[in-house]
Amino acid sequence: MNLAPAIALLIAGIALSVSLPTLLLRLGHSPRAALACWQLATATVLGSWVLAGLSIGDLIFQPLHRLGHRFSICIAALQGLTHDTRHDSPTTIFGGAASAALVVWIGVWITARLLRDRRVRARHAADLRMVARRDPDAGIYIVDSALPAVYCCPGPEHIVVASTSALAELSRAELAAVLAHERAHLAHRDHLRISVARALARAFPFVPLFAVASDEIARLCELRADDVAARAHGRRTVASALLQLLAARTPAPGIGAGGTGGAARVRRLLETPSSVASTLRGAALLGVAVATAALPLVAVGLALTALPYSVALCDLH
C-alpha cells in the first residue's frame, strides 16, 4: 500500500492553510487579484484533502495505468511498489469513503448557507415591496429612514435600496457613485462568494485559512466595488459618498456601500496609488497563486520520487 501521495497531499493542504493567510494579507493590494488568490487557495486546500483520500488505495493512480503499458511502467517505477488491482480492497474503500464524506460535508454546509441566505433575502425583498416606493427612473427602492443608507439585496430581482436621508444628503454625483458600487456587487455575484466563504469557515472552524478568508473576501468585494465606482465617477466622489454612509447599518441579507471597513476604504480611496508598488504586489500575488496551485503537485512528485529510496533503505536495515 502506497500512502506517500496521500500524506504529501494532506501535509501540503495543512501547510497552505496555515501559511497563506498572513502572506495574502500582506500582498492583498489589488482587490481583483487578491480575491482570485483567496479563492484559489481555498479550492487548492480542499482539493488537496479530497485527493489525499482518493490516492489511498491508488484510486487516482490505478486509472493512469490503463492509458498504456509504458506509462504504467513509469508510474510503477516512481512509486516503487506493485499496485493492488483489487478496487474493493479495504484501503481503497476507506480512501474513497473519506473523500466522499469530505465532499458531502462541504456540499451540505455550502448548500445550507446558500438556501438560508436566499430565504432571508426573499423575505426582506417581500417586505421592501410592501413598505418602499420604487423609483423607476433610478431603478431603486426608497425607504423612509433618518439614517443615510444605500445597499443591494440580491435575488431573482436584484434590488438596490436607498433611504430618504441618503437621497437628501448625497449629491447627484455621490448617489451615482454609490449606485455604481452596489450594481458592481450584483454584477460580480459577490453575495455568493461571501456566503460560500462563511459556510466553509463554519464547516471547518479549525482551519486558519477559511476563518480569515470569511472576513477578507467580504472586505475585498467591497474594495473591488469601490474601484468599479471610482473608475466611472472618481475616487474622491466615492470617498465622499462613503463618509456619509459610515453610520448606516445594512440589513443582514444585503450588501451595503457603508459596510465592511468603511473608514479604511475611505483612506484607501484618498491615497494616491503607486503604480510601481501595485505592479510589484501584483507580481508577488501572481507568484503566490502559481506556488499555491503547484505545491500539492510538487509534494506528490517529491513523495513518489523519494519512495523507492525509502523502500531501499528499509530493505537494507
| pLDDT range class, residue 52, cuts 50, 70, 90 | confident
- Return d(Cα 169, Cα 167) in angstroms, integer: 6
Assign 243 to helix, strand or coil: helix
- Return d(Cα 262, Cα 279) in angstroms, integer: 25
- CA-CA-CA-CA dihedral for 125, 252, 115, 104, to nearest 10: 170
> Per residue in 150-172, pLDDT tens?
999 888 888 899 999 999 999 99
In one-letter notation, the amino acid at residue 314 is C
Question: Which residues contact residue 204 at a Cβ distance below 8 angstroms, ignoring those fewer than 6 apart?
Answer: 210
Q: Which residue has the higher pLDDT, 213 or 311?
A: 213
- Return d(Cα 150, Cα 183) in angstroms, integer: 11
Question: Which of 85-89, 225-229, 306-310 shows the highest mean pLDDT?
Answer: 225-229
Residue 256's beta-bridge partner residues?
151
> Per residue in 102-131, pLDDT tens?
889 999 999 999 999 999 998 988 888 888
Please report the pLDDT score of residue 77 as a whole number: 54
Q: Is the per-residue pLDDT at 85 higher than 50?
A: no
Please report the pLDDT score of residue 91 as a whole number: 64
| pLDDT range class, residue 259, cuts 50, 70, 90 | low
Share of the chain above pLDDT 90, in %: 36
Question: Which of 58-72, 166-180, 260-274 shows the highest mean pLDDT?
Answer: 166-180
> Per residue in 17-44, pLDDT tens?
998 898 888 876 688 888 988 999 999 9
Q: Is the per-residue pLDDT at 84 higher than 90?
A: no
Contacts by residues 59-65 (CB-CB < 8 Å, ≥ 24 positions apart) = 59/87, 59/92, 59/95, 59/96, 59/99, 60/5, 61/2, 61/5, 62/87
| pLDDT range class, residue 205, cuts 50, 70, 90 | very high
Task: Give the three cell numbers for residue 11.
Answer: 501535509
Residue pair 85/62 in contact (Cβ under 8 Å)? The answer is yes
Mean local confidence (pLDDT), 306-315: 44
Please report the pLDDT score of residue 210 as a whole number: 95
**Exposed, middle or buried by CB within 10 Å (0-12, 13-18, 19+), for 96?**
middle
Q: Minimum mean pLDDT among 66-70, 142-146, 170-174, 222-226: which range?
A: 66-70
Q: Which has the closest alpha carbon to 24: 153, 210, 272?
A: 210
Please report the pLDDT score of residue 82 as a whole number: 45
Please report the pLDDT score of residue 191 as a whole number: 92
Q: Is the per-residue pLDDT at 68 higher than 50?
A: no
Mean local confidence (pLDDT), 124-148: 87
| pLDDT range class, residue 88, cuts 50, 70, 90 | low
Q: Which residue has the higher pLDDT, 317 or 222?
A: 222
In whole numbers, what is the pLDDT of the chain averaged over residues?
A: 80
